[in-house]
Structure 1
Amino acid sequence: MIKTSFISKTVSELKPSGIRRFFDLAANMEGVISLGVGEPDFVTSWSVREAAILSLEQGHTSYTANAGLLELRREIADYMHKSFEVTYNPADEIIVTVGASQAIDIALRATVSPGEEVLIVEPSFVSYAPLVMLAGGIAKTIQTANENEFKLMPQQLEEAITPNTKAIMLCSPNNPTGTQLGKEDLIKLSQIVKKHDLLVISDEIYSELAYDESYTSMAAIEEMRERTIVINGFSKGFAMTGWRLGFVCAPADIASAMLKIHQYTMMCASTMAQYAALEALKNGGSDVEEMRSSYRRRRNYIVKSFNEIGLDCHTPGGAFYAFPSIRLTGLSSEEFAEKLLMEEKVAVVPGNVFGDSGEGHIRCSYATSMDQLQEAVKRIGRFIEKYKVE
Structure 2
Amino acid sequence: MINGSKRIPQPIRWAMVGGGRDSQIGYIHRSAALRDQSFALVAGAFDLDPQRGREFGVQLGVDPERCYADYRSLIEGEAGRADGIQAISVATPNGTHFEITKAALEAGLHVVCEKPLCFTLEQARTLKDIAFSRNRVVGVTYGYAGHQLVEQAREMIARGDLGEVRMVHMQFAHGFHCEAVEAQSEATKWRVDPRFAGPSYVLGDVGTHPLYLSEVMLPDLKIKRLLCSRQSFVKSRAPLEDNAYTLMEYEGGAMGSLWSSAVNAGSMHGQKIRVIGSRASLEWWDERPNQLSFEVQGQPAQVLERGMGYLHPHALLDDRIGAGHPEGLFDAWANLYYRFALAMDAANRGDHEQLATLRYPDINAGVEGVRWVERCVHSADLGGVWVDY
Task: Flag the structure with higher strand content.
Answer: 2
More relative contact order, 1 or 2 (CA 8 Å, 6+ apart) = 1
Task: Flag the structure with higher helix content.
Answer: 1
TM beyond 0.5: no
Q: TM-score, normalised by structure 1?
A: 0.32
